Structure 1
Amino acid sequence: MDPRSHPCSGPAGFVAWPARSAASLPPVAAHLLSVNVGRVVDVPWGKLGRSGIDKRPVAGPVQVHRLGLEGDEIADTKHHGGPDQAVYAYAAEDLERWSELAGRTFVAGQFGENLTTRGLDVQDARLGERWAVGSTLLEVCDVRIPCAVFQGFVDEPRWVRRFAEHGVVGAYLRVVQEGVVQAGDPVRVVERRDHDLTVGAAFRALTTDRARLPSFQAEPRVSAKIARQIDEVRNHSSGAPRSDRPVG
């Protein structure tokens, strides 16, 4: 989905994400609550009519390859998958906040995430930072842009707009070192980048605040998609012809 045609694009701001009281958030070491994979099945929503968004928790170790988790399937390979979207992570704390807002329970994997974390502020992760998880090394490089398939799967009114307005979208991870992960594994941020280009800031730059996109060129580990968007904004500002390359 092209961020410029996103329903959240435009002058409107983001909706404040509800805070939790300190008493309701006891300190916990960052770890994997769940590791989730999905099979491609026929679905009644989206142009393709097939999707692997329905991720289910896996008991035991899961091999992580350069292009994703063993047993995890992708239907729309034009817009999903590849090295820059090998693994998708979402925080359990944010799933729980969504459960409160929607008045229903969202469980691990229900947002299509491969890794459901606990004790880690995924929204505040910086592009380019690296996580040691199990025997893997993962690198934050991109963010999720919600789409019609996500809307259909969750089956909530105005879901794409609501999800985008809050801007708590989760992180795509590149696999720097292949290995094995499983539920309960610690998540250690082994390299924190020296900038403020967070997951949340990246989503805003790709949707409602595109003027900020050029600042992301300071981080060489951004995804190829973000790099293309940076070039497009810079070329447009300089009067150069716009790129017609699709957003993946």
Structure 2
Amino acid sequence: MTPALPAPARPGATGELLAVCRVHVLLPDAGTVGVTAIDKRPVEGPVKVRPLGLYADVQADRAHHGGEEQAVYAYSQEDADHWSAELGYEVVPGLFGENFRTRGVAASGALIGERWQVGSAVLEVTQPRTPCATFARRLGEDRWVKRFTDANRTGAYLRVVTPGEVQAGDTVEVVRSPSHGVSIADWFGSRAAGTAADLAARLLASQEAGEVRLSAEMLERAERAVR
């Protein structure tokens, strides 16, 4: 049985930024772009966070990755520990292509629209990561896309609300949690659970009330779910 995911954090909850990762080198890839920037590795010292992400970080496939709604990708140590046990080797920071490795504040359990204060930056949770063939090639694990999907430990993309600087060791504080109660894991798993329409209605109501601003992708999927 898959262990339960952490519950969403309440405002004032804190965790730690264990590592800040950005692209180490572009790797050859069998996909249509020909290269991938998934090889992220921890860097030392402060790193600027801007609307399009970390300074000196890049995305090779910009049609599907990056942009303001996917400026930063966060993955929790708690989820990485799950995969370390499953895979039989350490899932080191950056291995999954994440920019932030956190502990104590769950990325997969974060609420859509939740805001984090990290260093001098404020970031907002936008949507889950959808595993792709590039990710599968990176890991080289059998049926990786399905395994990652079934585990529902996707991590979270974030937009940058207030640019600033971050570095390993910074506190991650939840400074705002929307009332809709829909987490990244709730939404990602909703299709399999048959709850997509209900969760979509809650998200759309929250947007209409001005409580959250759904990403274009999330808005399209939510509107489709309630039709």
Give the TM-score normalised by the residue count of structure 2: 0.87
Work out whether 1:211 is the aligned partner of 2:197. Answer: yes
2:76 to 62, 81, 91: 91
CA drift of 1:29 comes to 5.2
Equivalent-residue separation in structure 2 for 1:44 and 1:81 (angstroms): 18
Would you identify which runs of 4 or more consecutive aligned residues in structure 1 move more than 6 Å?
none
> Do structure 1's residue 104 and structure 2's residue 94 form an aligned pair?
no
Residue 207 and residue 78 in structure 1: after superposition, are their counterparts in 2 closer, same or farther (change >3 A)?
A: farther
State whether structure 2 residue 140 is matched by structure 1 residue 148: no
Please, what TM-score do these two structures have when normalized by structure 1? 0.80
Picking from 202, 223, 227, the partner of 2:215 is 223
User: Conserved in 2, the CA contact under 8 Å of 1:127 and 1:219?
Assistant: no
Q: Say yes or no: does 1:60 pair with 2:45.
A: yes
What 5-or-longer segments of structure 2 have no aligned partner?
Answer: 6-12, 208-212
Q: Identity of counterpart residues, as a percentage? A: 44
Report if aligned partners of 1:138, 1:173 keep a CA contact under 8 Å in 2.
yes
Alpha-carbon distance in 1 for matches of 2:206, 2:102: 24
Residue 31 (structure 1) aligns with: 16
Q: Which has the larger radius of gyration?
A: 1
Give the partner amino acid of 2:84: S
Q: Distance in 1 between matches of 2:223 and 2:79?
A: 32
Q: Which residue of 1 aligns with 2:144?
A: 159
Which one-letter code corresponds to 1:99 in the other structure? S
Alignment of 1:1-248 (within 5 A): 16-18=1-3, 30-39=15-24, 41-205=26-190, 209=194, 210-212=196-198, 213-220=200-207, 221-234=213-226, 237=227
